[in-house]
Structure 1
Amino acid sequence: MLEERTTRVLTKPAPGTVVSPIHEYTEEQQAQIKDLKDYADSLLLPSSDPYHRWEKRWLTRPDTIPRYMRASKWHYADAQKRIKGTLEWRREFQPDLIVPDEVEVESETGKIILTGFDKDGRPIIYMRPGRENTQRSDRQLRHLVWWLERAKDLMPPGQESLVIIVDYKSTTLRTNPSISIARKVLHILQQHYVETLGRALVVNLPYILSFFYKGISPFLDPLTRDKMRFNPDLLELIPKSQLDADFGGDYHFEFEPKSYWRQIVEACGIASDGTRVSDVTTSEQNTTEATPSPPSSKSYSQSSPASSSNASNDSSLSSGQVTPEVVEKMAEMSLEEPQEQRIDLPREPST
């Protein structure tokens, strides 16, 4: 019997998922978080600046300030430096205002797909370098940042991190990213999306490609390196109902570019100019002090979209009713049967 294929994007964790980890802070740590919030507020653009509302929106998310304190290992001066650097980067890059039409062409082959969640409620980004469809450009980088922002949009309450699965099946010398591009990606992820990578899972990786990871190792933060696993058993980490069938799951996702793009844009509430369709004031956006009480573990009991008898029909997502809250050097070769493997990356200090 052929499994039913679906074009439906998974925008919620599996029923019964308990979000983890939930971060709790001591009184001293909460005081440091408040001090950093006050410092960041002092750097805010004036209200007359068009980007002010978006900068404030990012700063008042309950996870923003605590993430920078944790990334700095509670060294306040370092946290100040880090968050100031990110504010300056966001003002130039404006990641939350990337116009969908600017990056949609990059998505036409499904080289980056956001759908499904791991067992801890982290949204999953699939990266398939073998599906590269454009020449190297700044737009490719903006496309990646677009997906980091969309993953943030779909994180359930209490979740602050995501999963990246890099699939090297069919990757060639032309399609694999250069080390220089990988360095740029790592810089953005490690400096401006601190404490956002929960897991980095590399699959279908021929041993010969390990040199690529050794090449980028000097630019990996030790914490990032420790989150990487090569050819793991994905079913230990991701529910079968949420894992793409290409990797052993029961989610038989069929990528159709127009339908997929429409669902993501609508699920995340993105308007044609990059703003939000409905800039509803949520608990994330109206938080005036980033010292939240630790959220309780959240167990999800909603029906899984993939289990619907109408799973191949995505028309229910075209109504726009889903709100923001729920919401890439190798030559061509035949790949050997992958086994979980450990690649001992050099331990040079991160730059």
Structure 2
Amino acid sequence: METTRHDLELEDDQQAEALAAVKASLLIVDSNAQSLTDSDYLRFLRARNFDKEKTVKLLVQHLKWRRSFVSSGYIKEEEIATELERKQIMLQGHDKFGCSIAIVLSARHVAFHRDFEEIKRLFVYCFDKAAASNLHPQTKFMIILDLEGWGLTNMDIRGYLAVLEILQNQFPERLRKLFILHVPYLFWGAWKVVSPFIDKVTREKIVFVDDKHLKETLLAEVEKDQLPTIYGGVQDLLPIQDCVVPNWPPSTIA
């Protein structure tokens, strides 16, 4: 069973020293680092195994990306209206650790009819809103990737790689687990292309779920009253744009 220790808790003096050093170095390079919390610093430190130089480099890149790609502090729904109409991402409930649950219905994505930049904005919106809807003090989220009905028209290698890059480099240590359901044979061709780009930490969080054990696997992670009916729960699916999250939209997000 995973530890429930608070994500912000410093385990020892070495972590505290690394946190202080990265803070001091980053503030010299980028004054916008004042918007970052200790939680943000620790997520990026863990993503780089507490290597201070690599963490500062990653954070500098992240802050620059954030200013450019998310200039308003968050992605506005009118910027992703076409993709939201497809209702391919749901956001509802929390797992047993307080992590919010995002559900991606991949068969609703049409690769030939998507705008590449809008897809990236859609998932930044998803990751930001999922993180914002966590139960205190949780900082991670859980994703259920449902491939029911997925086929060639849904295959989008370029899109997958872009979303993966955003998740790993702009939202490090946000993902708790990724459950992949209803995997068709055709999907393994796409997986063969994408999987080499998945880092070790992310790969260890990915679980392919056998259809025979779907309900028991998810119910081991999520209480029944927090799951949609299609997975053995009691809730109706809720499109992410209809999910009410306190203090959303935010003024800024790190």
What TM-score does the superposition give when structure 2 sets the normalisation length?
A: 0.86
Return the match for 1:41 from 27, 33, 41.
27
| Residues 147-226 of structure 1: pairs in structure 2 closer than 5 A | 147-176=126-155, 178-226=156-204
Cα deviation for residue 214 of structure 1 reads 2.0
User: Structure 1, residues 140-183: CA drift from partner, whole Å, max 9, x if none?
Assistant: 1101110111012112222121111100112221123x222211
2:60 paired with 1:81 = no
Residue matched to 2:18:
32
Cα deviation for residue 200 of structure 1 reads 0.6
What is the alpha-carbon distance in structure 1 between the residues aligned to residue 154 and residue 188 of structure 2? 16
2:36 paired with 1:20 = no
User: Structure 1, residues 86-107: CA drift from partner, whole Å, max 9, x if none?
Assistant: 1111121116332221113311
SS of aligned partner of 2:154 = coil
Contact 1:128 1:167 in 2 (8 A): yes
Paired letter, 2:241? W
Closer, same or farther: CA 131–268 of 1 in aligned 2, 3 Å: farther
Return the match for 2:81 from 98, 101, 104.
104
Q: Which runs of 4+ in 1 moved over 4 A?
A: none
CA-based RMSD of the aligned residues comes to 2.4
Residue matched to 1:146:
125
Residue matched to 2:39:
63
Cα deviation for residue 75 of structure 1 reads 1.2
Closer, same or farther: CA 78–132 of 1 in aligned 2, 3 Å: same
What is the alpha-carbon distance in structure 2 between the residues aligned to residue 149 and residue 142 of structure 1? 10
Residue matched to 1:339:
none
Contact 2:107 2:150 in 1 (8 A): yes
Q: Give % identity.
A: 25
Contact 1:114 1:126 in 2 (8 A): yes
5+ unaligned residues in a row in structure 2: which ranges?
Answer: none
5+ unaligned residues in a row in structure 1: which ranges?
Answer: 1-17, 46-51, 286-351
Residue matched to 1:126:
103
SS of aligned partner of 1:63 = helix
Paired letter, 1:196? R
Aligned length: 242
What is the alpha-carbon distance in structure 2 between the residues aligned to residue 68 and residue 62 of structure 1? 10
Contact 1:39 1:80 in 2 (8 A): yes
Closer, same or farther: CA 103–267 of 1 in aligned 2, 3 Å: farther
What is the alpha-carbon distance in structure 1 between the residues aligned to residue 98 and residue 237 of structure 2? 22
Contact 1:160 1:196 in 2 (8 A): yes
Closer, same or farther: CA 37–127 of 1 in aligned 2, 3 Å: same
Return the match for 1:137 from 116, 121, 138.
116
Contact 1:19 1:120 in 2 (8 A): no
Contact 1:21 1:120 in 2 (8 A): no
Contact 2:116 2:159 in 1 (8 A): no
Residue matched to 1:246:
230
Closer, same or farther: CA 142–180 of 1 in aligned 2, 3 Å: same
